[in-house]
Amino acid sequence: MGQVLVTGAAGFIGAHLCQALLARGEQVIGLDNLNPYYDPKLKEARLAALTGKARPGQFAFHRLDLSDQDSVLALMAAHPGLDRVVHLGAQAGVRWSLQAPFAYTAANVTGTLAILEGVRRAEGRIGHTVYASTSSVYGSRTDGAFRESDCADRPASLYAATKLAGELMAKSYTDLYRLNLTGLRFFTVYGPWGRPDMAYWLFTEAMLQGRPIRLFNEGRMRRDFTYVDDIVAGVVAALDNPPATPAHRLYNIGNSHPEELLDMVAMLEELLGVTAKRELLPMQPGDVPATFADVSAMQRDFGWRPTTDLRTGLGRFVAWWRGYFG
């Protein structure tokens, strides 16, 4: 068994994925820059949990910025046993892209290009690369389930535009160099060890502190909330099943069951035993009113389907939150 490079290894999804790969005996090379977009102490705690469970020599972590292409290329070349890549590292967050646009082109465009070039230079040694895209590429839609064949040329935010650029670069590299590349469009991932900029985290924190929660579009948003363990199972399934011939593939990976934001708030009120104070606000620039994943392609090709409903997943998040913050 070779080695797997996981970028964004200290991130929310990346840390969960590394844990799953280590649990089945894989050798994992983790890459992350631990940037301060949110508290790096949370990222360091995820890494500590990972390294505490790994066997000696099973997990190697490199603190590295994806936009430092020379260092990324050198790292990939220095591991002759590297045969698979999962590229999750990115600058996330729709709203932050309004304030720090160059951070998005550096991580999501230059960083993705560095990974693609590293795979190309491996000259066939890296047999499969799975990378993260986003449901945001579909733009502002309210007309039912999003399908991979739908037009995705009107992203509503710079974040979405940079992730769409990553998809286009991946397609180009496959056509030029006959690489095996699989892109996964994630739909609103949540769960333990999550991201502090996500609504479920912000709401939990505000409610427990007695502060009002901010509901954009007056809470009339629908999101295809997808539990992190379901996402990881889908990433692993995709990674284990490369295309039979060199190809670039795209898949939605979501819960396929959109929920009203206000329904999520009601679930958190029940789980926390707190009544939320609501601050109703207009739609935020860059946001989209609804997301809804058609995941029939993931089910057909990998036998994958989500198994965790929102209330169960939120219950696990709240239990983790109470344990982590005491």
Residues carrying an active site annotation: 159
Give the DSSP per-residue string, 119-161: HHHTTTSS-EEEEEEEGGGG-S--SS-B-TTS-----SSHHHH
Please tell me the distance from the alpha carbon of residue 256 to that of residue 229, in angstroms, as a whole number: 15
For residue 21, give both structure tokens.
């790969």
Alpha helices in the chain (DSSP H): 12-23, 40-53, 69-77, 101-104, 111-121, 158-177, 199-208, 228-239, 261-272, 296-302, 310-325
Angle between helices 111-121 and 69-77 (to 10 degrees): 30
Would you put residue 147 in left (φ > 0), alpha (ψ -120 to 50) or beta? beta
**Could you tell me how far CA 208 lies from the centroid of its own chain?**
27
